[in-house]
Structure 1
């Protein structure tokens, strides 16, 4: 009987152990299920938050479009464009958070745009929601307002990069898509919110538009000369072709934008345009004397080069009727010979002291450089831009950089294969 009782207790003990094991396993399973459920709930909550953010973004965009349409209806696009007059180009001023700069730029543009308003409807495109910028833009009746609201995260490709350059690239693509594809303009002139324009700015671009239509080897037309400082320019009537994209007040066509828009870069759009793979051997028209002046010491580039290169820029002050000028020499088939003749007539100067010798020559001077390092050394002595991009110096045409040197005399810095490329 005692043995039977012991066996019974042993069985109870085993049953208890099994029961406890089952309970523990059950609790572990429940805990695992609970954790899985919590994870699923957290994931769903994240999706709900993302959905709410997306919904908010779409709501803001719809509100933005509604505001834009109301603004256009209020002012009437007929005030910006004449139904009997096909616009030469829309003018867009790219803005963000500098209301005082924007005010100065708008006033400069409208000062010269008023007599040709039907040819050049003006838009302000604001990136972001700075209330002072929006208020300033809407205070002018003779322009239309657009607002780019972008809540997407910005992921830089390299550590330490400024997010601003990525936001700027997004804004440019959005604004140009709007003007070319929504408003159906055939050409757009892009200005920034820290620019003043010259008296003949619009006449210059009207004549240049005809060049763009005739010569498909011209990718864009710019109002800027990187070496346009007072000591390096003289002739306000002279225009050049360049393999280097100048930017800073430039015009492009819809056909060029059709090509660029699908592959537009995440950042540094201007340097991207300077890559050979993008301009594909096409060139840019630029003036000797700038038709825009950049007063923006404070901005995304934090005043880089402002004192040395931007502040001394000469803004043209001569009123020129460009439509009466013969610009045929800028067509590709004529320009190579036109430019080569000027280079050929320049007096060659050689040696390590070539820069010093150039001071003693009365007429145009030609100095050859061996490579990029040699070019930078010579450019530094004159004080012009030393920078290259993808093998091309700033302002260069077939490797030749030309500028005045404190007089009417021109200095031609000629690359190692430039004469061959010019047929000299």
Structure 2
């Protein structure tokens, strides 16, 4: 590491290269390092390639390098150029905050120092929604996921890809750069220090705290630095359905205008092939549960969450009442993402993959969502039509469904009253049986729709239900 470098020995411009190459001392007169920058910065930290000074003196630096050293230098130059570009944007962001704070302290009009006019958010009348890809150290997973995204997206201008990488893993960074101009922005989370002040039990789960730190960095880059109004967040172990972008684009205006919506998600935790209706692959639902795994939020929501972002376990934190605030996400009957086998490797060590996640199957038939009337998802209409309609259905037992006691009943309701009712029946029916802040997975007002024995089941609380019980978690 060459840190806080000084004592400029000499500077030469390599003929025809445009590179400003400098040799700086490192505290050892016999060794030096050099790097490429667009402008001259003082006290710049960088990874360096060491070259004995006596070999470099009086020569253009590239001429003293071995072939493998040139390759190594080229990669370091790319890293540095990316870091400087990102730092420049970050400096502009900090400057805007400081200027706003100064105005407020001087007694001028109060202002949101984080507020920023969106840049490149619309191309004429064209909606632009960036895809924020979260990556760390799984190069082959990232390669497959990015290729799938690029092959699937209908427009690079409408859906620019932003990759945010943690871990500073060079092979993963190389994969990002191999896609060239297909990637709009590439940023690397700079803080690789250990998480501070963790309790002994938390130390074992430090990876989850690093993930939360990375998410905050990445979302700040997309919303506060780049200024986008909304973003779709994905991870490097996801596979995307052919209508993934169509789905997100169709729901974008609903998310932007409906204050009762929290997010749009491509995921269904109960999306096993036998539990969804493939003849209704256009069917969408509201859910009180945050599904994640390919999800879209707005900059307004980020502004609300940013200052209280958690130290760890960000996804469960989002599911808490203080964050959700009785808002819902939209989710599909049939998932528009699925987890690749690469998902077995990661911080969670493949938890639930073999038992559950690998059985979730995404949609394979394109649905033209942007041409469909999705107004049934607006809250007032959804509650008056969907919720009330469910409580008019026949109330049956799980045995009635398993034995197909009433073949004419295509849609039925199975009721639970207590937490134990829910868990025992959920296990028998094969749906997820856990709660997060009292909310069952995919539930809306406690109601979970799925197929059982080819019959539509609405697993629901009594009609007198009023709110979730957080003690059920």
If the length of structure 2 is used for normalisation, what is the TM-score?
0.70
Say whether residues 1:414 and 2:454 are aligned partners.
Answer: no
Name the counterpart of 2:201. 159
2:282 match: secondary structure: coil
Q: Which has the higher contact order (CA 8 A, sep 6+)?
A: 1
1:65 to 83, 105, 108: 83
C-alpha contact 2:121 2:128 (8 A) present in aligned 1: no
Distance 1:261 1:57, change over 3 A: farther
Which residue of 280, 286, 290 corresponds with 1:241?
A: 286
Map of 1:336 onto structure 2: 383
Paired with 2:199 and 2:268, the residues of 1 have a C-alpha distance of: 30
Match of 1:8 in 2: none
Q: Is structure 2 residue 311 aligned with structure 1 residue 263? A: no
Partner of 1:284: 329
Question: 2:50 is matched with which residue?
Answer: none
CA RMSD of superposed structures (Å): 2.6
In 2, Cα distance between equivalents of 1:229 and 1:139 = 35
- State the Cα deviation string for residues 46-80 of structure 1 (Å, max 9, x = none): xxxxxxxxx9897689865315589xxxxxxxxx9
1:272 aligns with 2:317: yes
Q: Secondary structure at the match of 2:395?
A: strand
- d(CA) in 1 for partners of 2:200 and 2:301? 29
Contact 1:368–1:413 under 8 Å retained in 2 = yes
Distance 2:173 2:402 in 1: 53
The DSSP-based 3-state class of the residue aligned with 1:252 is strand
Q: Decide which of 165, 168, 171 is 1:132's aligned counterpart.
A: 171
Say which SS state the counterpart of residue 391 (structure 2) adopts. helix
Q: Deviations over 1:302-338 (max 9, x none)?
A: 1111122211112111111111100001001111022
Query: Unpaired runs of 5+ in structure 2?
Result: 1-41, 48-78, 89-119, 468-473
Using a 3 Å threshold, how does the CA distance of structure 1 residues 177 and 297 change in structure 2: closer, same or farther? same
Distance, in Å, in 1 between the alignment partners of 2:418 and 2:400 is 16
- Contact 2:232/2:295 (<8 A) preserved: yes
Tell me the SS of whatever aligns to 2:310.
Answer: coil
Matches within 5 A, 1:20-419: 65-66=83-84, 68=86, 83-84=123-124, 86-113=126-153, 115-141=154-180, 142-143=182-183, 144-155=185-196, 156-157=198-199, 159=201, 161-234=204-277, 235-295=280-340, 296-350=343-397, 353=399, 356=402, 360-361=406-407, 362-407=409-454, 409-417=455-463
Q: Runs in 1 of length 4+ with deviation above 2 angstroms? A: 55-65, 67-70, 80-88, 155-158, 352-362, 416-421
SS of aligned partner of 1:92: strand
- CA displacement 1:366-385 (0-9 Å, x = unmatched): 11111111101001001110
Cα deviation, residue 133, structure 1: 0.2
> What is the match of residue 12 of structure 1?
none
Q: Deviation digits for residues 379-417 of structure 1, max 9, x if unmatched?
A: 10011100101111110000111111242x211111145
Cα distance change, pair 353–318 in 1 and its aligned pair in 2 (3 A): closer
Distance 1:264 1:236 in 2: 35
Aligned to 1:74: none
Counterpart of 2:141 in 1: which secondary structure?
A: helix
In structure 1, distance between residues paired with 2:199 and 2:156:
42
Q: Contact between 1:81 and 1:118, CA under 8 Å: does it hold in 2?
A: no
Q: Is the 8 A contact 1:349 1:358 kept in 2?
A: no
CA deviations over 1:165-207 (Å, ceiling 9, x no partner) = 0010000000010111111111010000000101111111111
Deviation at 1:150, TM superposition (A): 1.2
Question: What residue in structure 1 maps to residue 74 of structure 2?
Answer: none
Report the TM-score, using the length of structure 1 for normalisation. 0.78
The CA distance in 1 between the partners of 2:421 and 2:385, in whole Å, is 27
Q: Residue 375 and residue 82 in structure 1: after superposition, are their counterparts in 2 closer, same or farther (change >3 A)?
A: closer
Query: Where in structure 1 are there 5+ consecutive unaligned residues?
Result: 1-54, 71-79
Q: Deviations over 1:264-320 (max 9, x none)?
A: 001110100111111010011000100011111221111111122211112111111
Q: Which has the higher helix share?
A: 1
Matches within 5 A, 1:10-29: none
Kindly tell me: are residues 420 and 255 of structure 1, through their superposed partners in 2, closer, same or farther at Cα, counting changes over 3 Å? closer
1:138-186 deviation per Cα after TM superposition (whole angstroms, max 9, x unaligned): 1002013111121333143451531110010000000010111111111
Q: Which has the larger radius of gyration?
A: 1
